[in-house]
Structure 1
C-alpha cells in the first residue's frame, strides 16, 4: 500500500506548504480560503447528528470511534490516498476542521481521529495548528 502521511490542522491555521488540505467537517467552509481544498474525507467526517448532539468529549469520542471502527483503517487510508494522491503523496494529507486547539482542554474530532489512527496503525498524526493566539494589547500598556 502507498505511503501516507497524515497531519491535522484548522482551516484558519493551514498553509499550503503543510501538505494537501482535506475537509473533514460536516459543513462546508464558512469563510474564504487562500488555498483550494483537495477533497472531502467523508469516512472520517462526523455526521450532523453527532455534531449537533452537544455531548461531552468522552461521549462524543465513543460515538465517533464507532464510526471510525465501522469504516476501518484500510478504507480510510484508501479514501485519503485517493484524495491526496491526486495532489502529492510526498506531503502530508492534512485533515482540516474549524476548532482551534490553542487553549488547554479544547478538543475536536480531528484530535480523536489522530488518537484512534495512532492506536490502530501505530502511525503518528501530528497537529500542525494549535499555535497560541497573540495576546490582545491592553489599554494601559506604556
Structure 2
C-alpha cells in the first residue's frame, strides 16, 4: 500500500443485530455524527478527518465472550479510546447503554461492552 498525503481514509466494519442503534451509541459516545444510514448499514465519522466506523446488519449475530472462553465466540477486534477522566468516561458510556465488564485487567483501562456486546476499552490518558 502506498501512503498518500491527501485523499486517504480508513475505517472498520462492525457487525450488529441493529446497526442503526449501535451507530447511535457510538455517535453519542464519540460525539461524531452519523454520516450515512440505509437499511442494514449506518456510518459514523468525525467532523474532520478520514476515519469512519461502519455498522452492518448481521443475521444470526452472537456477541463475543470476553474474556475469551473455549468454544465461545471470540472477539475478532475491539476499539480503544483514550480519555482524560476515566471515571467520567465510564459513567458517560454506561449512561449511553454500555455495560462494565466484570473482569478489569488493568488499572488505567476499563473494558466495557457496547449495546451489541462488543468489548471496547476506555484508556486513561497518561500525562
TM-score (norm 1): 0.26
Larger radius of gyration between Structure 1 and Structure 2: 1
More strand by share: 2
Question: Which one has the bigger helix percentage?
Answer: 1
